[in-house]
Amino acid sequence: MTRWLMRRRVAAWLIFGGFAALPLIAAMTGDPYLVVVATRILAFAMAALALDLILGYGGMVSFGHAAYLGIGAYAVAILSRAGITDLGAHLGAAVVAGSAFALVTGAISLRTRGIYFIMITLAFAQMAYFFFVSLSAYGGDDGVTLAARSTVLGQDWLADDRVLYYAALAMLLGLYLLCVAITGSRFGRVLTGARENPLRMQAVGFTPFRFQLTAFVISGAMTAIAGVILANQASYVSPAYMNWHRSGELVVMVVLGGIGNLLGAIAGATLALLLEEWLALFTEHWRLIFGALLILVVLFSRDGLTGLFRGRAK
Amino acid sequence: MSLLSVRGLRKSYGALKVTDDLDLEVTEGELHAIIGPNGAGKSTLIAQLSGQAGSDAGSVLFAGAQMMGKPMPARVRAGMSRSFQITSILPGFSVLENVSTAVQARAGSSFRFFAPVARDADLNEQAIAALAQVGLSDRAQTRAGSLSHGEKRALELAIALATQPRLLLLDEPLAGTSGAEAERLVQVMAGLKGQVTLVLIEHDMDAVFALADRVSVLVYGRIIATGMPAEIRADPAVRAAYLGDA
C-alpha cells in the first residue's frame, strides 16, 4: 500500500510539474492556443476529480454532473451582469449554489441505488438544463457572452490567458490535495466502506446516507468551481455546458483515467480533451476512433490509464 | 437481571408467521444459545432484534430502553452488535482497516476530513486488541477478501467485538467452517463468555452444549422451551421437535 502511495506521489509531481511547465513550452513553440486549450483541460480535470470522489470512492455514479458546471458558469454570468465581477464572489456564489443543488437533489437521489440513481441524477440535471434554456434574460438557448473575465482585487489580471491558466492550475492543485486528505480521513474511510458493503457499515453503527450526501455536496461544489473557470476561459456561458452529453463525457474521463485514485481523473480529462483536439485534425468522425480507444482501455485495463502504470494486479 | 427482554414479537410474510408471539429473556453475562430446525425463524429473529428487519408487533427492551422502530445503526450504538450468517466484511479493506472502521463507529465523530485515518493510533490500538482476541494478529495487513473462510468468520467476530457491544448476536458463526477452524472459533467464543452477553444461533450441537449457559428452542417462530443444556437435552417436547432427528 505504501508503495502505491509513493507511486501516486511521483505521478502527482509529474502531472502537476508538466502542467506548470506547459506555458513555457507554448511560448517556445509560439503556439498561444495551447494555453487556452490547457485551461479548458484544467477545468474539466477539476470536474472529473470531483466526480471521481463520489464515483470512485463513494460508488455513486452521477450522470448529471454537467449541471454543476453550468451552475458555476451561470454564477459568473449572472453576477457579472449585476456588476459584481470579483472572482472571489463568483467562486463563493458557485460553491453555495452548487452545494444547495447537490444537497436537495442528492438527498432525493440517494434514496435509490444503481441504475435508478444514475437515472434520477440525469433527470435533475436535465431539469436544470431546461431551466437555463428557458431563461431568456440570459439568452436562453444561445447563452450570453461575458463582457470581461472575473476580476481579482478590482484588477483584470485574468484577462491574460497565462494568468487565468495558472489560477486554474492552483485551484486544481488545491482541490486535488483536498480530495487526497478527504479520501484518507475518517470520513473517507466511511465513504469507501459504504461503497464496499453498506450493510456491514450499518451493522457497526454508521448511517451511510449522511456520509454519502456530504460527499455528494462536496463534489457538487467542486464541480461548480470548475464551471467558474470554464466560463472565464470561454468568456461565454450557455446551457450547452449542462447538456447530458457533457455529463457522459465526465464519466468517460474518469473511467478512461481509472476510477478511485483521483490522479486518474485528471489524466483521463487531459487525455480525452487532447484526443478530441488531435483526432479532430484528421477527421470529423473522430468520435468513432475515440470510442474504439475507450473500448480498448476498458477491455485491457480495468483501472484505465492508471492500470498501465500500476503494474500487474495483485 | 435481563439485559434483553423480548415480549410478544411478531413478524409475518403474507400468511406465514415467521415469528409468532415470541418471548425471550437474556440475562446479563450469559451465553444464550437458540437452536431449532431449519426454517424455524432463527435468522429472522436475529434480523428483527438487530433492526435489520422490521417487526409487526411486540416489544424489544435492551438495557431498559425500547428498541422497536429503531434502525440498525442506532441499536449498534446502544450496544447491540451482530454477526451475519453469510460473511459480511469489507473485502477491499485490510483486516486491520475492517476492524478499525468498527472502532471508529464508536470513537466520536467520523466527520473528520483532514487527519489521515491510517495513522490514527487510537483506532488502530483497539483494533489490534480485537484482532488478538480472535487470533488474527498476524493477518492484520492482509486484504480481507483474500482470507480463508474460517479467518473471515473470525474477522467478522473481531469487527463485532470492536464496536464494544454489551450484547453480541451471533448468527451461525461456525457456518461452513472446517473442524480445526470451528474449534478455534469455539475457543474464541468461550473466551468471550463473561465479558459480553452472547446470543448464539448455531447448528453445531456439540458447540452449543459445550458453550451455552442456557438454551432456547425455537420451532415455527415460537420458543417452546428454555433451560440449562441438560434440561433441554432431556425435554421430551424438544426431542420430538428437533433433537430426535439430529
Q: ipTM value, please give it.
A: 0.90
B5, β-bridge pairs: B25, B61
Residues of B in contact with A189 (CB under 8 A): 97, 101, 104, 110, 117
- Of the three residues B164, B184, B218, the one that is the final residue of a domain is B164
Hey, are the CB atoms on B111 and A193 less than 8 Å from each other? no
Same domain, B19 and B122: no
Structure confidence by residue, pLDDT tens digits, A7-26:
889 999 999 999 999 999 88
- Total domain count, chain B: 2
- Of the three residues B135, B164, B193, the one that is the final residue of a domain is B164
> Taking CA atoms, what residue in B is nearest to A218?
B113
Flag whether residue B71 sits within 8 Å of chain A, measured between CB atoms: yes
Hey, are the CB atoms on A186 and B112 less than 8 Å from each other? yes
Four-point Cα dihedral B176, B178, B180, B184, nearest 10? 0
Residues of A in contact with B104 (CB under 8 A): 186, 189-190
Beta strands in chain B (DSSP E): 2-13, 16-27, 31-35, 57-62, 65-66, 80-82, 167-171, 197-201, 214-219, 222-227
Hey, are the CB atoms on A189 and B88 less than 8 Å from each other? no
The answer to whether residue A14 sits within a structural domain is: no
For residue A223, give the 3-state DSSP assignment.
helix
Alpha carbons within 13 A on the beta-carbon side of B33? 25
Grid cell for residue A302: 480495468
For residue A17, give the 3-state DSSP assignment.
helix
Q: Are A77 and A47 in contact (CB under 8 A)?
A: no
Hey, are the CB atoms on A185 and B116 less than 8 Å from each other? yes
Same domain, B48 and B122: no
> Taking CA atoms, what residue in A is nearest to B141?
A1
Angle, alpha carbons A209-A212-A213 (nearest 5°): 85
Residues of A in contact with B163 (CB under 8 A): 204-205
Structure confidence by residue, pLDDT tens digits, A58-112:
999 999 999 999 999 999 999 999 999 999 999 999 999 999 999 999 999 999 9
CA distances from B20 to A196, B8, B12, B219 (A): 35, 8, 8, 10
Q: How confident is the model at residue A30, as a pLDDT?
A: 82
Q: Are A134 and A126 in contact (CB under 8 A)?
A: no
The answer to whether residue B106 sits within a structural domain is: yes
B10, β-bridge pairs: B57
- Of the three residues B112, B140, B164, the one that is the final residue of a domain is B164
Q: How confident is the model at residue A298, as a pLDDT?
A: 83
Count interface pairs A-B at CB distance under 8 A. 96
Residues of A in contact with B84 (CB under 8 A): 199, 203
Flag whether residue B163 sits within 8 Å of chain A, measured between CB atoms: yes
Q: What is the CA radius of gyration of chain A?
A: 19
> Taking CA atoms, what residue in B is nearest to A206?
B73
For B212, the domain range is 1-79+166-176+201-246
DSSP annotation of B116 reads: -
Question: Pick from B33, B42, B70, B37: which is nearest to B55 by CA?
Answer: B70
The answer to whether residue A124 sits within a structural domain is: yes
- Total domain count, chain A: 1
Q: How confident is the model at residue A290, as a pLDDT?
A: 87
In angstroms, the CA B193 to CA B203 distance is 19
Q: How confident is the model at residue A82, as a pLDDT?
A: 92
For A156, the domain range is 33-256
Residue to test with chain A: of B70, B83, B117, most A Cβ within 10 A: B117
In angstroms, the CA B169 to CA B198 distance is 6
- Tell me the mean pLDDT in the region A220-237: 96
Same domain, B229 and B126: no
Same domain, B70 and B93: no
Q: Are A114 and A52 in contact (CB under 8 A)?
A: no
For residue B198, give the 3-state DSSP assignment.
strand
Hey, are the CB atoms on A184 and B116 less than 8 Å from each other? yes
Grade residue A1 by pLDDT with cuts at 50, 70 and 90. Answer: low
Residues of A in contact with B158 (CB under 8 A): none
Same domain, B156 and B170: no
In this model, does residue A173 exceed pLDDT 90?
A: yes
Flag whether residue B114 sits within 8 Å of chain A, measured between CB atoms: yes
Higher pLDDT, A211 or A4: A211
The answer to whether residue B246 sits within a structural domain is: yes
Looking up residue B20, the CATH number of its domain turns out to be 3.40.50.300
The answer to whether residue B196 sits within a structural domain is: no
Grid cell for residue B8: 410478544
Select the residue of A181, A203, A205 nearest B106 (Cβ to Cβ): A205
Q: Are B168 and B192 in contact (CB under 8 A)?
A: yes
The answer to whether residue A11 sits within a structural domain is: no
In this model, does residue A311 exceed pLDDT 80?
A: no
Same domain, B62 and B170: yes
Grade residue A243 by pLDDT with cuts at 50, 70 and 90. Answer: very high
Residue to test with chain A: of B97, B99, B101, most A Cβ within 10 A: B101
Q: How confident is the model at residue A314, as a pLDDT?
A: 36
Residues of A in contact with B90 (CB under 8 A): 193, 196-197, 200
Q: How confident is the model at residue B243, as a pLDDT?
A: 59
Q: How far is A43 from chain B (nearest CA, A)?
A: 24
Same domain, B145 and B171: no
Higher pLDDT, B88 or A5: B88
Same domain, B99 and B217: no
Grid cell for residue A228: 467558474
CA distances from A136 to A112, A130, A240 (A): 34, 11, 15
Q: How confident is the model at residue A310, as a pLDDT?
A: 65
Interface of B with A in 49-68 (CB under 8 A): 50, 52
Hey, are the CB atoms on A197 and B90 less than 8 Å from each other? yes
The answer to whether residue A194 sits within a structural domain is: yes
The answer to whether residue B41 sits within a structural domain is: yes
Residues of B in contact with A214 (CB under 8 A): 111
Q: How confident is the model at residue B240, as a pLDDT?
A: 80
In this model, does residue A312 exceed pLDDT 80?
A: no
- Tell me the mean pLDDT in the region A268-297: 88
Structure confidence by residue, pLDDT tens digits, A116-150:
999 999 999 999 999 999 998 888 888 899 988 99
Q: How confident is the model at residue A244, as a pLDDT?
A: 93
Hey, are the CB atoms on B97 and A189 less than 8 Å from each other? yes
For residue B177, give the 3-state DSSP assignment.
coil
Same domain, B13 and B122: no
Select the residue of A1, A185, A203 nearest B76 (Cβ to Cβ): A203
Residues of A in contact with B110 (CB under 8 A): 186-187, 189-190, 206, 211
Residue to test with chain A: of B50, B90, B126, most A Cβ within 10 A: B90
Hey, are the CB atoms on A199 and B91 less than 8 Å from each other? no
- Tell me the mean pLDDT in the region A28-53: 94
In angstroms, the CA B76 to CA B106 distance is 9
The mean pLDDT of chain A is 92
Same domain, B171 and B246: yes
Q: Are B101 and A189 in contact (CB under 8 A)?
A: yes
Q: How far is B157 from chain A (nearest CA, A)?
A: 12
Same domain, B120 and B215: no
Query: Residue type for A164, please?
Result: L
Hey, are the CB atoms on B101 and A187 less than 8 Å from each other? no
Pairing of strands B167-171, B57-62: unpaired
Residue to test with chain B: of A175, A189, A209, A222, most B Cβ within 10 A: A189
Cα B7 to chain centroid distance, Å, stands at: 20
Same domain, B171 and B239: yes
Q: In sequence order, what are the residues at sequence separation of 6 or more whose Cβ sits closer than 8 angstroms to the Cβ of residue B113?
A: A181, A182, A185, A187, A188
Q: How confident is the model at residue B246, as a pLDDT?
A: 43
Alpha carbons within 13 A on the beta-carbon side of B151? 19
Residues of A in contact with B89 (CB under 8 A): 197, 200
- Which range has the worst mean pLDDT, A165-169, A210-214, B180-184? B180-184
Question: Pick from B88, B51, B53: which is nearest to B73 by CA?
Answer: B51
In this model, does residue A202 exceed pLDDT 70?
A: yes
- pLDDT tens-place values along chain B, 246 residues long: 799 999 999 999 888 889 999 999 999 999 999 998 888 889 999 999 999 999 999 999 999 999 999 999 999 999 999 999 999 999 999 999 999 999 999 887 888 898 899 888 889 999 999 999 999 999 999 999 999 999 999 999 999 999 999 999 999 999 888 888 899 999 999 999 888 999 999 988 888 999 999 999 998 899 999 999 989 888 888 888 775 554
Residues of A in contact with B71 (CB under 8 A): 202, 207
Structure confidence by residue, pLDDT tens digits, A99-111:
999 999 999 999 9
Flag whether residue B159 sits within 8 Å of chain A, measured between CB atoms: yes
In angstroms, the CA B246 to CA B240 distance is 10
Q: How far is A245 from chain B (nearest CA, A)?
A: 32
In angstroms, the CA A207 to CA B51 distance is 13
The answer to whether residue B114 sits within a structural domain is: yes
DSSP A56-115: IIT----S-THHHHHHHHHHHHHHHHTT--BHHHHHHHHHHHHHHHHHHHHHHHTTS-HH
